[in-house]
Structure 1
Amino acid sequence: MTERAKLAQDFHNQGYNCAQAVACAYCDLAGLDRETAYKMAEGFGFGMGCMEMCGALSGAFMLAGMKNSAGLDQPGTTKGQTYKVTKMLKEKFEQKNGAYLCRDLKGVADGNVRRSCPGCIEDACELIEEYLTK
């Protein structure tokens, strides 16, 4: 586990949700300050608050968008590429864990817990760190 992944785990242990933990551990690499990353990611924990997309993966998606987007200078010009990146991150995460929805990862319907929140954070960190540092 990398130092930033350990930092994300520490943030989670301090009460950050999964999305906040990932977003805050890498925020400087994406041009964000930690307070902004924390606030931005708050609604994405617990699978966007309703056990949908994994919060840790959502945090990684936010970071990918921050790295890839051309911003308001060139509206719409980079979203297609960003969607490709998020799709790749989702596919790699799903291959690793057998799911990408929080409720499936936690085994809500079938009792089969595929990955813990700390495990999801570790996996999302591995994927986004690879993308942010290449």
Structure 2
Amino acid sequence: MENKANYAIDNFDCGFNCSQAVFSAFCEELGLNKKIALKIACSFGGGMALGEVCGAVTGAFLVLGLKYGNNDPEDKFSKAKNRLLNRDFTARFRKLHGYITCKELLNYDITDDKQLNAARQSGIFKTKCPNYVRDTVLLLEEIIAENT
């Protein structure tokens, strides 16, 4: 549904990071208060501020965990299903974009101040990142629809 994707992009455009934008698009329908969701996802933006796994991807993992994860250590089925869905999501994202890390997706090392400034000046956070956010939401919607 394009509305969730637009909502996530709007959140990203107004200043929330990629992980927050993705997670907040799903949180309330999954029973989590939006303010709490934004706080939970805050540390995952920019590849956990390290240029590692893209925040949109970690936002997807948060969504999948909230929807399908286990909250009982004996619930091996939910734990296994969540792991499989994370792998499925990752494969689909890689098929679209080739990579899942910020360093590779952006082709900048955002932990280096000079490269971070160069990335900002290039406008990459406004051109590429919204696409990652949108595609993540759309992939999540597909996966959730297939597993409902």
Report the TM-score range of the alignment, normalised by the length of the smaller protein: 0.7 to 0.9
Is it true that 1:60 corresponds to 2:60 in the alignment?
yes
Say if 1:17 and 1:55, in contact at 8 Å, map to a contact too: yes
TM-score, scaled relative to structure 1? 0.88
Aligned counterparts of 1:83 and 1:14: Cα–Cα separation in 2:
32
Aligned to 1:2: 2
Kindly tell me the number of residue pairs found equivalent between the two proteins. 131
* 1:128 paired residue among 135, 140, 144: 140
Deviation of the 1:40 alpha carbon? 0.6
Aligned to 2:25: 25
Say if 1:29 and 1:132, in contact at 8 Å, map to a contact too: no
CA offsets 1:30-60 (integer angstroms, 9 cap, x no match): 2211011101100100011101001001101
Percent identity between matched residues is 32
Aligned counterparts of 1:46 and 1:57: Cα–Cα separation in 2:
11
Amino acid at match of 1:30: L
Task: Choose 1 or 2 for highest CA Rg.
Answer: 2
Aligned CA-pair RMSD? 2.1
Off by >3 Å, runs of 4+ in structure 1: 72-77
Aligned counterparts of 1:56 and 1:48: Cα–Cα separation in 2:
11
Say if 1:27 and 1:33, in contact at 8 Å, map to a contact too: yes
Is it true that 1:16 corresponds to 2:28 in the alignment?
no
Say if 1:47 and 1:53, in contact at 8 Å, map to a contact too: yes
Compare 73-82 and 93-102 and name the one that shifted more. 73-82
Partner of 2:25, secondary structure, is helix
Aligned counterparts of 2:70 and 2:47: Cα–Cα separation in 1:
27
